[in-house]
Amino acid sequence: MRTPTDHAVEAPLPDARAMRVAIVVSRFNEDITMRLRDGAVEALTVAGAAAEAIEIFEVPGAFEIPWAARAAASTGRFEAVVCLGCVIRGETYHFELVCNESAAGVSRVALDHETPVANAILTVENEAQAWARAEDKGRDAARVAVEMARLLEAQS
């Protein structure tokens, strides 16, 4: 637990050995989302997760991510779920709908299934912003998922 005087320092990767992680990734804006996926897989591997312990579920778009995350979480096979996608603002209100509903759905999965679910669905104004975040946010999501799974494990 941090105190108000602590300084934020990037923590080392949590230990992901013997941990199974589901990665749900959208194919929409595929070049960007596959970069997110690669960053997440790399972070999990560096943290000790075995390649066969990382299962990837591809879905058409960000709106479908919560459904696949729920399906993965409900199996009980995974200690954590990582959700990856990219929604780039367009000219219509559709951007807000997809962003809000995908975020709400991902949060609901975590709460309903008591499974750590990391949300790295990028919601950006343009493609340049997406590329600037693509690799790091995938890694960050993997880190968050493992850290929260270890916290849940410690509380059990």
- H or E element, residue 133: helix 127-155
SS3 content of the chain, % helix, strand, coil (to 5): 55, 20, 30
CA distances from 40 to 59, 117, 153 (A): 16, 13, 21
Which entry of 67, 94, 97, 107 is annotated as an active-site residue?
A: 94
**For 6, phi and psi rounded to 5 degrees?**
-70, 150
Q: Where are the alpha helices (DSSP H) in 76-126?
A: 94-113
> In 3D, which of 16, 15, 36, 14 has the Cα closest to residue 25?
36
Find the helix packing angle between 65-75 and 94-113, rounded to 10°.
10
94 is catalytic: yes
Active-site residue list: 94
